[in-house]
Amino acid sequence: MPANAFYAQSGGVTAVINASAAGVIETARNHPRRIGRVFAGRDGIIGALNEDLIDTSRERASAIAALVRTPGGAFGSCRFKLKGLDEHRAHYERLVDVFRAHDIRYFFYNGGNDSADTCLKVARVSASMGYPLACIHVPKTIDNDLAGTDNCPGFGSVAKYVATSMREAAFDVASMASNSTRVFVLEVMGRHAGWITAAVGLADDDAHPLPLVLLFPEVPFDEARFLARVDHLVKTRGYCCVGVSEGLRDASGRFLSETGLRDAFGNAQLGGAGEQVARLVRDRLGHKYHHALADYLQRSARHLASKVDVEQAYAVGREAVRAALRGENGVMISIERRSDDPYRWSLGRVPLTRVANREHKLPRAFISRDGFGITARARTYLQPLVRGEAALKFTNGLPAYVRLANVSIEKKLAPFEA
Amino acid sequence: MPANAFYAQSGGVTAVINASAAGVIETARNHPRRIGRVFAGRDGIIGALNEDLIDTSRERASAIAALVRTPGGAFGSCRFKLKGLDEHRAHYERLVDVFRAHDIRYFFYNGGNDSADTCLKVARVSASMGYPLACIHVPKTIDNDLAGTDNCPGFGSVAKYVATSMREAAFDVASMASNSTRVFVLEVMGRHAGWITAAVGLADDDAHPLPLVLLFPEVPFDEARFLARVDHLVKTRGYCCVGVSEGLRDASGRFLSETGLRDAFGNAQLGGAGEQVARLVRDRLGHKYHHALADYLQRSARHLASKVDVEQAYAVGREAVRAALRGENGVMISIERRSDDPYRWSLGRVPLTRVANREHKLPRAFISRDGFGITARARTYLQPLVRGEAALKFTNGLPAYVRLANVSIEKKLAPFEA
């Protein structure tokens, strides 16, 4: 009997994380003599700790294929972070116990920075316990901040969504600006890194020149300079669009969303960073504004996913299985850029020691000198990642997505008590 | 020399109002012996008052054709409302003066309730001044509240957007609900009518059953019943999605967005209705929430427009020109539903006296008895309107939209002083 595999989704989900799941499961199914069943953790790694393992072999091939076009996390995810070995050794050992009980020899963990760290520790603990386990990290994060890879599956689709949304809203506000709304503010995700904020900049190009201001989490918010810029754009172009990171901070490093700006009466105005700067524009410049908060819409918008992103998400899942079958362990599958234009990429492997607890920061050279826009280098990097429209199935005018049966296998161990 | 035509966009723009513009302009171009040039009002009717007329004959056929797939208002719009004849007679007479100066005998006004009223008054004033002018109203509003037509161009695309967005976000929150976000709130437009809120209900169907709560502007907000419903859904289904109208009101008829709910300390919490109910869920039920505000994104999302909506938007523009050429006056082009399934529709004309100052309200029979959902009758009505995916052109991974040159013709009159 071939050994089984375990797959889990970790952290915030994306429009394409299920494509990685499909890549793992379909590739495993193609190697029935080497891999038995693929179990998925219900609600991520928590499912492994609780021995709540979903038997993906009970899903039809058509359902697994439909994962490629279904957003969210098909098996559930979690934000539970395993801590260091000193503190959480029992958890790591429990994982190995569960894997041993179900003859799981392959561990595919689909997540961001934290899960790369977890994956590395599981590899070490299983080795120290003498249990052979191939631990492969499958990259995923809309934030694009994973080290060791040119880009992360999940990011390209968010980038395409926020850039498209800003361009469309800009056409709207431009129509209304002569006598109504003059400033449009879109708040986007990316609390600690401005990759998504930078992607908003793609909305503005030669064929669609927009009066756009970006507020990056990397650039401390300078109220006076910001207001001057907005005012200038409204005066010269008639309107202004503002893309704001949810993680915008003031000069002292505090999040605007936590501290609040003060209104004319000195009262703190609570709300997200986008709402804050929108109100500021109204209160100080007197412009009517509209304000959108994309929130989950941006990371679940499978209907507007980037084809490149979907393909890469699937490919890293497929390659994770192949790497495990080659005997690799403690690595993350990475995306390597071969050329910008035409865009060419290939897959690689990076030791998890080079991924865990590191961060792929937005280069300062991607932010324009004035701090309010992106550079040509940023465009060159970002542009290929939003390219292509991914296939979708519509039923009754709406995207048709799949829900799996998600049947658990029988437990063999006593409940875990941490 | 054939007489000229005037076309103007009014009020909030939509993802498909430019398709109506294309319908008007292309059809007029097909009748060169009857219609000379089509002038467009820069920023709507204000352009006519200011004699700022855009010469659409200077635009290439390809640019006009591209309007069909471009959101926003290509010539600018305005929220300026002409008042009654007693108060604003000079304005109406000015319009006729401008039309006379430029030999404009056709007036196509593309808007909602207010502009239907304006169109009717212009027809009356021109008649009383002995100036022959065919006044045809071209329906447009995302709110779907125009009387005399089964539905309004602009609504179907918003409906498709909000239903798709809610479905996608529901897949996201379902993944996270075991240990993180349990409640997702989406605020949608429609301050006085719940048509858009009802459309959110399409996200939930047999193939995609969602624990969904809708808060209509027609149903006074009952905090206790709402919280009980959300709590029940979270307990039984694990999570809950809430679609909230921006026009949600409390039992005394006040907008939640204006009055604010009280937090645990009795402080008013300002913000939109969606934010209000989201915080309420957190404060009273202790659930982590996410909250999105679609704002302009919902009405400018041409990338997800309904094909039926685009076709109808174009058709009402085309039919307006044909009706004018048939000698009709003081009418609105209407959409008449012939059958639900298969969906069949045709165009009709309604006298503006039957449109102006009326309202197409969401029928009570479309809201479920408990007030939190939609009925089968609502689905039957809504479903055809979101059907089909409209063609789009992408360049570099983003939708390519057109901007017209918008060159004004020379003025002949003295400036208008109201």
The bridge status of strand B53-55 relative to strand B35-41 is: antiparallel
Instruction: Report pLDDT for B261.
Output: 57
Domains along chain B? 3-154+305-358+387-399 (3.40.50.450), 156-300 (3.40.50.460)
Backbone angles phi, psi at B39, to 5 degrees: -95, 140
Instruction: Report pLDDT for B257.
Output: 82
Looking at the complex, does the CB of residue B202 fall below 8 Å from at least one CB of chain A?
Answer: yes
Instruction: Calculate ∠ Cα B308-A15-A172, nearest 5°.
Output: 45
Please state, in angstroms and as integers, the Cα–Cα distance from residue A273 to each residue in A26, A153, A220, B270, B291, following that order.
Answer: 42, 26, 13, 15, 14
Considering only CA atoms, give the Rg of chain A.
Answer: 23
Average pLDDT, integer, range B109-125? 95
Residues 6+ apart with CB under 8 A from B311: B388
Name the closest residue on chain A to residue B302, using Cα atoms: A168
Q: Which of A143, A145, A204, A309 is catalytic?
A: A143
Average pLDDT, integer, range A145-174? 98
Catalytic residue list contains B143: yes
Average pLDDT, integer, range B141-158? 97
pTM above 0.80?
A: yes
Q: Which residue has the higher pLDDT, A46 or B83?
A: A46
> Which of B177, B291, B383 shows the shortest C-beta gap to A396?
B383
Cβ–Cβ gap B168/A301 under 8 Å: yes
Residues 6+ apart with CB under 8 A from B167: A398, A399, A401, B203, B204, B208, B210
Instruction: Report pLDDT for A268.
Output: 52
Return the amino acid letter for A265.
F
> Which of A73, A304, A396 shows the shortest C-beta gap to B303?
A304
Instruction: Report pLDDT for A266.
Output: 53
The span from the CA of B338 to the CA of B91, in Å, is 40
Per CB-CB distance under 8 Å, the chain A contacts of B399 are: 164, 167-168
The answer, yes or no, to whether residue B269 has pLDDT greater than 60, is no
Looking at the complex, does the CB of residue B12 fall below 8 Å from at least one CB of chain A?
Answer: yes
Please state the three-class secondary structure of A102-163 as a single string: CCEEEEEEEECHHHHHHHHHHHHHHHHCCCCCEEEEEECCCCCCCCCCCCCCCHHHHHHHHH
Q: Which of B270, B243, B247, B187 lies closest to A293 in space, CA to CA?
A: B187
Per CB-CB distance under 8 Å, the chain A contacts of B46 are: 178-179
Cβ–Cβ gap B292/A296 under 8 Å: yes
The answer, yes or no, to whether residue A262 has pLDDT greater than 90, is no
Q: Which of A376, A152, A367 lies closest to A243 in space, CA to CA?
A: A367
Average pLDDT, integer, range B221-249? 97
Instruction: Report pLDDT for B268.
Output: 52
Contact assessment for residue B290 and residue B277, using Cβ atoms and an 8 Å cutoff: no
Cβ–Cβ gap A386/B397 under 8 Å: yes
Instruction: Report pLDDT for B13.
Output: 97
> Which of A43, A80, A401 shows the shortest C-beta gap to B171?
A401
Looking at the complex, does the CB of residue B268 fall below 8 Å from at least one CB of chain A?
Answer: no
Alpha-carbon gap: A325 to the closest alpha carbon of chain B (Å): 29
Q: Which of B143, B145, B150, B309 is catalytic?
A: B143
Neighbour tally for B376: CB within 10 Å: 10
Instruction: Report pLDDT for A310.
Output: 98
Looking at the complex, does the CB of residue B360 fall below 8 Å from at least one CB of chain A?
Answer: no
Per CB-CB distance under 8 Å, the chain A contacts of B208 are: 400-401, 403
Cβ–Cβ gap A72/B175 under 8 Å: yes
- Reported residue count of chain B is 418
Cβ–Cβ gap B292/A293 under 8 Å: yes
The answer, yes or no, to whether residue A261 has pLDDT greater than 60, is no
Average pLDDT, integer, range A119-129? 95
A254: which 2 tokens? 């505090």
The answer, yes or no, to whether residue B260 has pLDDT greater than 80, is no
Check residue B285 and report its DSSP letter. Answer: I
Residues 6+ apart with CB under 8 A from B300: A168, A169, A171, A172, B13, B14, B15, B71, B72
B244-253 residue pLDDT tens: 999 999 999 9
Interface of A with B in 79-118 (CB under 8 A): 79-80
> Which of B172, B292, B296 shows the shortest C-beta gap to A13?
B172
Instruction: Report pLDDT for A81.
Output: 85
Check residue B249 and report its DSSP letter. Answer: B
Considering only CA atoms, give the Rg of chain B.
Answer: 23
A163: which 2 tokens? 């850039």
Interface of B with A in 333-352 (CB under 8 A): none
B328-371 residue pLDDT tens: 999 999 999 999 999 999 999 999 999 988 999 999 999 999 99
CA B392, B398, B400, B401 torsion-angle sign: positive
The answer, yes or no, to whether residue A206 has pLDDT greater than 60, is yes
Instruction: Report pLDDT for B262.
Output: 54
Cβ–Cβ gap A293/B293 under 8 Å: yes
Looking at the complex, does the CB of residue A291 fall below 8 Å from at least one CB of chain B?
Answer: yes
Average pLDDT, chain A: 95
B274-287 residue pLDDT tens: 999 999 999 999 99
The answer, yes or no, to whether residue A53 has pLDDT greater than 80, is yes
Per CB-CB distance under 8 Å, the chain A contacts of B175 are: 9, 13, 72-74, 76-77
Instruction: Report pLDDT for B362.
Output: 97
Contact assessment for residue B227 and residue B257, using Cβ atoms and an 8 Å cutoff: no
A338-397 residue pLDDT tens: 999 999 999 999 999 999 889 999 999 999 999 999 999 999 999 999 999 999 999 999
The answer, yes or no, to whether residue A247 has pLDDT greater than 70, is yes
Instruction: Report pLDDT for B185.
Output: 98
